[in-house]
A = this chain, B = another copy of it.
Amino acid sequence: MAKKKEQSQRKRTPLTELLRVPVGDAVHLARTDPRSTPGTNGGKAAALAAGAATGERLAALQERLYAASTAGDRRRVLLVLQGMDTSGKGGTVKHVIGSFNPSGCRIKAFKAPTPEERDHPFLWRIKQALPQPGEIGIFDRSHYEDVLIARVRALAPRAQLRRRYEQINRFEKALADDGVSVVKVFLHISYEEQRERLLARLDAPAKHWKFNVGDIEERALWPAYQEAYELALERCSTAAAPWYVVPADRKWYRNWAIAALLLEHLEALAPQYPEGDFDVDECRSRLLSS
C-alpha cells in the first residue's frame, strides 16, 4: 500500500509544471475549466486522504526553513493569492496556515490603498509586508491589484499600467535573487460559481457582513477583469516568479493543489537544521548541575 502510494507520487507530473503559465505564452483563461482537477489521480477522496500527510510534511519543512534562518539562511516563501470575489482567497489562507506553525507565517490582506499608501509608489506597501528569512508569507491580494482593478476601473493611465508590469517583474526578480520563492496563484472560478457563492452569502444572515452591493457591480465587469488577469499573467509569468492557474470551483481541489504547490517549492529548497555551535556534553553537564 505504502509502496503503491510512493510509486503514484513519483510518477505524478509536478503541479509546478502542470499549472504554470509558460513564460511568454498568451493566456486564455476560457481554455481552463474551473471545475477541472489537474494532477489528481484519485479524485476528491484521495485528495482529502492525502491532506494529513501533506500537512505534516509542510509543517516539518517549514520548521527546517525557520531553523535554517537562525543560522543565516535568507530563504523564504511568498504565496501570492489573486482571484475574483468569492474565489476562495480567505479560505485558502485558513487551510494553508492550518498546516503551518502560524508564528512563522506572515499574512497580509491588501485592501483599497489608504491615503498614506496612495502617497507612495504602489510597491511601497508590498515591501512593508514581505516575509522575513525563514518565514512563509501569504498575500491575500497584492501588488497585482495595481494592474487589475487599476486597469478595469481606469485608476491609472494605460502608459503607467504598462510600466507597472515591468516594475513588478524587476521587483519579483530582486526578491527571487534575495532568496524568496515567489508562488503566484490565480484562483480560477467560473462566472456561474461566483453567482452561487454570492447567493449563498445572501441566504445566510451570518454571512451578510461579507456581502457588499459593490460585489454585484464588480461582477458586471467580469469580462474586463478576465482580460486584465490574462494580461497580468502573460506579462508577469517569469522564470524568476511564474504564475500558476489553479481551477477553484471545487474547494477540495483548490486546497489540495495549493498545498501540493507549496510542498513542491519547499521540497526543492530542502532546508536543513543548522548544527549547534556549542559543546553539547558541556552544556548538559552545566544543566545537570544547575
Contact = CB atoms under 8 A, between A and B. Distances in A.
B97 A276 contact: no
Nearest to A275: B208
Complex copy number for this chain: 2
A195 B287 contact: yes
Given A195-B290, A216-B283, A216-B287, A209 B107 contact: no
Main secondary structure of the interface of A (DSSP, over half): helix
Contacts of A90: 103
Contacts of A67: 206, 209-210
A70 B103 contact: no
A240 interface: no
B213 A140 contact: no
Contact of A216 (B70, B97, B101, B286): B286
Interface stretch (A2-10, A39-47, A162-170, A197-205): A197-205
Given A109-B103, A211-B283, A278-B213, A273 B206 contact: yes
B102 A209 contact: no
Contacts of A120: none
Contacts of A202: 280, 283-284, 287
A220 B276 CA distance: 21
Interface in A256-290: 273-276, 278, 280, 283-284, 286-288, 290
A148 interface: no
Contacts of A101: 94
Nearest to A63: B206
Nearest to A68: B209
A213 B275 CA distance: 14
Interface in A80-116: 90, 93-94, 97-98, 101-103, 105, 107, 109
A14 to B, nearest CB: 27
Interface in A205-227: 205-206, 208-213, 216, 219-220
A199 B274 contact: no
A71 interface: yes
Contact of A278 (B109, B211, B287): B211
B209 A71 contact: yes
Contacts of A213: 278, 283
30 contacts: A67-B209, A67-B210, A70-B209, A71-B209, A90-B103, A93-B102, A93-B103, A94-B103, A97-B97, A97-B102, A103-B109, A103-B140, A195-B287, A195-B288, A199-B288, A202-B283, A205-B275, A205-B276, A208-B273, A208-B274, A208-B275, A208-B276, A208-B280, A209-B274, A209-B276, A211-B283, A212-B278, A216-B287, A216-B290, A220-B290
